[in-house]
Structure 1
Amino acid sequence: MEIEKYKELIKSIIEKHSQCDSDDCEVETQIAFDVDRDRYLMFHVGWRGERRVFGCVIHIEIREGKIWIQRDGTEVGIANELIEAGVPKSDIVLGYRSPYMRKFTELAVG
């Protein structure tokens, strides 16, 4: 797949997850796309009572033609969605796994 197709696919996956998120009206789901640097994020911002909520749910980067999943807080798994959409396993890196553990997956090591 071309890098431009990867960018559009990643954006569509994140947008889908941002729409399906919690009904909690005090916590907002935000997305941030830095297409110049190939970084794509979804995070939560808000309050639950007196407790501050802020956290990254999805963080994906494109590096040297590969999709690096830096954070995946989804139930289905971003890698699974990418594979289902036609991305070769050799183009997906689980960046949240240590380099040592990546070699035990069917995906790219880096």
Structure 2
Amino acid sequence: MDKLEPYRNIIRNTLAEYLNIFYANANIRNRAAFDSQNDQYLIISEGWDDKQHLHSCLIHVEIIYSKVWIQCDNTENGIANELVQAGIAKEDIVLGFHEPNVRKYTGFAVA
């Protein structure tokens, strides 16, 4: 069985948990933008803090050449270990937000 379809399900299920986050200090909600055809998975935070509109990427994960690339992770604890606990092999996860020369020290894939 191809590992990518289970990986896609793990990514969707793990990221979906972030849709239920409640922000006490601002009227913000998280929204999912999942594109399984192009293997792009994002959680976008959008809302208002008083009169200021907020719109940012909370999480961006994509699959590139059978590796799970975490391109953006603005969560408190990071999602890489959550993905590992859910069944994605550590050697298949790249912390894309780290510089390439730093990745070898992360314990995850370098590319």
Report if TM-score (shorter chain) is over 0.5: yes
Matched, 1:38 2:39: yes
Q: 1:108 to 1:19 in 2, by over 3 A?
A: same
Alignment-derived partner of residue 26 in structure 1:
27
Specify the SS of the correspondent of 2:44.
strand
Report how far residue 70 of structure 1 moved.
0.4
Separation of aligned partners in 1, 2:22 and 2:101: 33
In structure 1, list runs of 5 or more residues that go unmatched: none
Alignment-derived partner of residue 103 in structure 1:
104
**One-letter amino acid matched to 1:84:** Q
Contact 2:19 2:29 in 1 (8 A): no
**One-letter amino acid matched to 1:2:** K
Q: 1:73 to 1:66 in 2, by over 3 A?
A: same
- 1:46-65 to 2 correspondences below 5 Å: 46-65=47-66
Separation of aligned partners in 2, 1:4 and 1:12: 12
Separation of aligned partners in 2, 1:56 and 1:31: 10
Separation of aligned partners in 2, 1:100 and 1:32: 30
Specify the SS of the correspondent of 2:101.
helix
**One-letter amino acid matched to 2:55:** F
Specify the SS of the correspondent of 1:52.
strand
Report how far residue 23 of structure 1 moved.
4.9
**One-letter amino acid matched to 1:7:** R
Specify the SS of the correspondent of 2:82.
helix
Separation of aligned partners in 1, 2:101 and 2:87: 26
Separation of aligned partners in 2, 1:20 and 1:47: 15
CA deviation profile, 1:11-52 (whole Å, cap 9, x unmatched): 001111111342567322111001110000001112111111
Separation of aligned partners in 2, 1:24 and 1:42: 19
Matched, 1:4 2:5: yes
Separation of aligned partners in 2, 1:26 and 1:75: 19
**One-letter amino acid matched to 1:69:** I
CA-atom RMSD in angstroms = 1.5
Alignment-derived partner of residue 89 in structure 1:
90
